[in-house]
A and B are shown apart, each in its own frame.
Chain A
Amino acid sequence: MFALADCNNFYASCERVFNPSLVGRPVIVLSNNDGCVIARSNEAKALGIKMGEPTFKIKDLIEKNNVAVFSSNYTLYGDMSQRVMNTLASFTPDVEIYSIDEAFLGLHGFNYVDLLDYARKIRKTTMRNTGIPISLGVAPTKTLAKVANHIAKKQPQHQGVYMIANEQQRVDALKEFEIGEVWGIGRQYRKFLARYGVNTAYDFTRMPAGWVKQHLSVVGLRTQRELLGIPCIDLEHSAPPKKAIATTRSFGEMQTDLGYLSEAVASFAVSCAHKLRKQQSVAQVVMVFAHTNYFRDDLPQYSASKTVVLPVPTSSTLELVHFALIGLKSIYKPGFRYKKAGVIVSGISTNQHIQTSLFDSVDREKHNRLMVVMDKLNDKYGRHTVKVAAQGAGRKWKLRQERVSPMYTTRWDDIITVKV
C-alpha cells in the first residue's frame, strides 16, 4: 500500500505555527515581490480568492475581511518542509519527497498493523511535532492514493485520513472523481475524454485498454491500470510533478567520496535546470538530499537534506549547480556509505514574469543566451555535449518582500519572542 501525505495549505499553515492568532482568520501568501496569490487558507478560499490572482485586484477584499497577507518566506517553508518530511520518514523508510509539501510513503510490509490507525498516528504525530496539519490518502497504488488524499481533504468526516481498502470503496471513490483531477491525466485531456463520455475516473477505467493506449499513450494506460488498483508506478519512477522537478538516483555501488557525490549532484542540478527550461519555468528553491542504504542495518545510517532559497528564481544551469553544491557541502559527512542522492527544485513559476532584484549581480540576459546555445548543442549532439565545470563566486543577493514573516527557524534574531 501507498500513502500520499499532503500538507494542508502548507505556506499558510507555516505562518500559523508561529502566529497562532491567525487560526480561523483568512491567510494568503504572495509570490515573489508580492505580485500575486500563491497560497490560501481555507477561510481565504471561502472568500473567493483565487490561486494566482494579482494582489492589486483583491486589495478591497483584503481590507474588508481582515485578511492576513504574507510575502513568501521560502526559508521558513523549506525548513518546516524538512521537519515534516523527517517526521514522515520516522514512520517508514520508504519516502518519496514529491514536492515541498507532499510525499508518497511506501507502506509495504505493514500489513500486520491496521493501516488506517497507522495513518491517523502519522497525521497526529506530524501535527504535534511541527504544528503542520496534513491529509493522508492510503491506497494500493500511488494514483489511487492521490484520489484517497483528495477525499481525506474534502470530506471533513474522515478527519484528514482516508483509505481505499476494498473494491467497493475504490469504485465509489472513482465514480465521484472528475477525470481532469486524476494524477497523470491533466486538464488538457478533459475535453477530449468528455467527447467520449468519459467524465469521471470510473468512466475512464471502463474504457478498453487498447483505446486508452492509442489516444493517451502508455502513460495513460499506466494511469488506467493504477486506477484499477494495479501498482505500476513505483516510488522512484515518478513523473516530474507540476509543483516540483526532482532528479534523484540510487548509486549502483554505495559512495563515500564527496567528489563523486558532487559530480552526481551537479549533474542532477543540470538535469533539473534543463527540465525547467523545457517547460519555460524557473525555480526559487533547490533542495539537495543524500542518504545511506536503509536496508543495510549493519552499516551506520545517515540521512540529510538541505534547502537553499534562491534570491531570484532561475532556470540557469550555472546558478542551480552552484547552489546545489553549496547544499551538498553543508550536509555531507565523511565516513558514511551513501546509496542515494537527489536534487529537487520547487517554488516553480513561469519565466515570463521574473522579478529581479535591485541587487541582482547576475547578468540574466547573458545567462539566457548561453543556456539557449547550450540546449541547442545538447539537443543536436546529445546530452552532455556541453557541460558545466561547477563553480561560482560568492555573491550578495537580496529580494524585495514587504510582508515577509521572520525566519523563525533559521535566524537567531528572528526566533519567537516568549513573554515571561
Chain B
Amino acid sequence: MRLIKTTPEIDFFTADTTYDLSLPLAEGIKAGFPSPAQDYIDLAFDLNKELVKNPSSTFYGRVRGDSMVDEGIYDGDILVIDKSLPPADGHKAVCYIDGEFTLKTIRIKKDGIYLMPANPAYKPIKVTEENDFVVWGIVTYVIHKF
C-alpha cells in the first residue's frame, strides 16, 4: 500500500499489486489442533538463495593468512566468490597474481591498479605489466565461524 492523500481524519492508500504473497487456504477446518507449520515449509529462509545469487558462477574459497583482518576477514574463513561480477574500485576481489590466489581490495588509481591489504603489517601491491595478474572473482560474502 502507498499513501496517496492525507486528510485530518483519513489517510488514503493505493494498493500495491506489483507482487503477490500467497497465503495458504484452510480447507475444511476441523476440530482439534492442526499443525501450524504444515503450510509454511516453503517460507523458511534459504541461506543458499540469500548468499548465492548466481549459482552458475559462484565458487567458494578458503582464507589463509591475516592481511585482511581489519576488514573482518580471518584465517580459515570461507569466501563466497562470484565470477560473473565485473571488478570495480573498492571491490574485494580474489586475484590470481604470480602463481597464487590472493584476496585484497581493488583500488583503481591514476597510475594503476593497487591491491590493498587491511592490516598495517602489509604493504599495498601495485600491479605492473610484469605481474601475471587476473581478477578471478568478486567476493560477495565471508562466512566466519566463531
- Which of B65, B83, B136 contacts A419 (CB under 8 A)? B65
How far apart are the CA atoms of A87 and B57 in the complex, in Å?
A: 9
How far apart are the CA atoms of A306 and B61 in the complex, in Å?
A: 22
How far apart are the CA atoms of A27 and B73 in the complex, in Å?
A: 34
Assess whether A128 is interfacial by the CB under 8 Å rule: yes
Contact: A420 with B62, CB < 8 Å? no
Interface residues in A361-420 (C-beta closer than 8 Å to B): 408-409, 412, 415-420
Contact: A408 with B56, CB < 8 Å? no
How far apart are the CA atoms of A419 and B56 in the complex, in Å?
A: 24
Assess whether B84 is interfacial by the CB under 8 Å rule: yes
How far apart are the CA atoms of A90 and B56 in the complex, in Å?
A: 10
Contact: B55 with A419, CB < 8 Å? no
Contact: A420 with B56, CB < 8 Å? no
Interface string of B62-96 (1 = CB under 8 A from A): 11111110000100001100011000000000101
- Which interface class (under 10, 10 to 19, 20 to 34, 35 or more) fits A? 20 to 34
Known: A83-B56, A83-B57, A129-B56. A419 touches B62 (CB 8 A): no
User: A87 to chain B: which residues have CB within 8 Å?
Assistant: 56-57
Contact: A420 with B83, CB < 8 Å? no
How far apart are the CA atoms of A128 and B60 in the complex, in Å?
A: 16
Interface residues in B92-107 (C-beta closer than 8 Å to A): 94, 96, 99-104
Contact: B78 with A130, CB < 8 Å? no
Assess whether A33 is interfacial by the CB under 8 Å rule: no
Interface residues in B112-146 (C-beta closer than 8 Å to A): 117, 132, 134, 136
User: A130 to chain B: which residues have CB within 8 Å?
Assistant: 56-57, 83
- Which of A86, A129, A415 contacts B60 (CB under 8 A)? A415
Contact: A420 with B103, CB < 8 Å? yes
User: A125 to chain B: which residues have CB within 8 Å?
Assistant: 84
- A residues lining the B interface (CB < 8 Å): 20-21, 82-84, 86-87, 90, 125, 128-131, 335, 408-409, 412, 415-420
Known: A131-B136, A418-B64, A420-B104. 10 other contacts (CB 8 A): A20-B134, A20-B136, A84-B56, A87-B56, A125-B84, A128-B84, A129-B56, A415-B62, A418-B61, A418-B62
25 A-B pairs (CB sep. < 8 Å)? A20-B96, A20-B132, A20-B136, A21-B99, A21-B132, A82-B56, A125-B84, A128-B57, A128-B83, A129-B57, A129-B83, A130-B56, A131-B136, A335-B42, A415-B61, A416-B59, A417-B101, A418-B63, A418-B94, A419-B65, A419-B100, A419-B103, A420-B63, A420-B64, A420-B65
